[in-house]
């Protein structure tokens, strides 16, 4: 799956801040794997940050594509501030509160439920 094609189906933040690693289809379910790019948050530009790996992968459900369920497997990065060893990370709203759905998909389902 190319990045241009992915941009048509996925939230902008995912394409802008994450690298697409691979896709797999298992039992009619599409699994897409992403890893946060090594681009420290802008609000920490004044600090010296070193990438220290990733948080545990999270899995969230997104909009179905062509009748297939879609699950996004996302690994968020963390950095260490070289001067004080503080752990730094972006504050992502990847998952809608109280669900395992992307925020955008949960909002869509709420809207169609009103009709």
Q: 79-106, pLDDT tens digit by residue?
A: 999 999 998 887 665 444 554 445 665 6
Model confidence pLDDT, tens digit, residues 24-70: 999 989 999 999 999 888 878 888 899 989 989 988 888 788 889 98
**C-alpha separations of 91 from 1, 29, 44, 103 in Å:** 28, 28, 12, 14
Rounded Cα–Cα distance for residues 43 and 61 (Å): 29
The continuous run of DSSP H or E covering 112 comes out as helix 103-113
Domain that holds residue 18: 3-113
Distances (CA, A) of 39 to 73, 76, 93: 19, 11, 18
User: What SS3 state is found at 19?
Assistant: strand
Domains of the chain: total: 1
* Short-list 31, 38, 115, CA closest to 73: 31
């Amino acid at each position: 799956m190319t990045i241009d094609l992915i941009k048509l189906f996925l939230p902008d933040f995912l394409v802008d801040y994450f690298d697409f690693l691979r896709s797999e289809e298992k039992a009619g379910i599409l699994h897409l794997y992403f890893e946060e790019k090594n681009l420290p948050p802008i609000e920490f530009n004044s600090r010296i940050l070193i990438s220290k790996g990733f948080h545990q992968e999270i899995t969230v459900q997104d909009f179905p594509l062509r009748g297939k369920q879609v699950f996004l497997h996302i690994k968020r990065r963390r950095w260490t501030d070289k001067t004080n060893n503080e752990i730094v990370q972006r504050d992502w709203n990847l998952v809608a509160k109280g669900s395992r759905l992307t925020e955008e998909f949960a909002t869509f389902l709420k809207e169609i439920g009103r009709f």
